[in-house]
Amino acid sequence: MKNVIAPLVVLTVLILAGTALAQSVSTGISIADGELRSFYLAIGDYYRVPEPRVVHVKKHYRVRDEELPVVFYLASCARVEPEVVIDLRLRQRMSWLNITFHFGLTPEIYYVPVQRVGPPYGKAYGHYKKHAHDYKRVVLADEDVVNLVNLRFISDYHRVAPEVVMDMRSEGGRFVVINEDVRRGKEGHHDEDDDKGKDKHNEGGKGKGKGKGKE
Residue 213 one-letter amino acid: G
Least Cα distance to 44 among 27, 31, 60 occurs for 27
Q: Please give the DSSP secondary-structure letter assigned to residue 159.
A: T
- Tens-place pLDDT, residues 85-144: 999 999 999 999 999 999 999 999 999 999 999 999 999 999 999 998 898 899 999 999
The torsion angles phi and psi of 113, rounded to 5 degrees, stand at -65, 130
Please tell me the predicted confidence (pLDDT) of residue 33: 84
CA torsion sign, 110 to 83 to 47 to 29?
A: negative
pLDDT at res. 189: 60
CA distance 208 to 120: 54
CB neighbourhood size of 129 (10 A)? 10
Residues 11 and 30: their CA atoms lie apart, in Å, by: 22
Going from N- to C-terminal start, the domains of the chain cover: 32-202
The C-alpha atoms of residue 128 and residue 122 are separated, in whole angstroms, by 10
Average pLDDT of the segment spanning 21-29: 43
**pTM of structure:** 0.75
At 43-61, the pLDDT tens digits run 999 999 999 999 999 999 9
At 158-167, the pLDDT tens digits run 999 999 999 9
- Is 82's pLDDT higher than 80? yes
What is the rounded average pLDDT for all residues in the chain?
82
Say how many C-beta atoms besides its own lie within 10 A of residue 160's C-beta: 16
Name the residue type at position 114: V
- Rounded CA-CA distance 78/33 in Å is 31
Alpha helices in 79-174, H assignment, sequence order: 82-86, 96-102, 122-130, 142-158, 162-170
Inter-axis angle of helices 2-27 and 51-61, nearest 10? 60
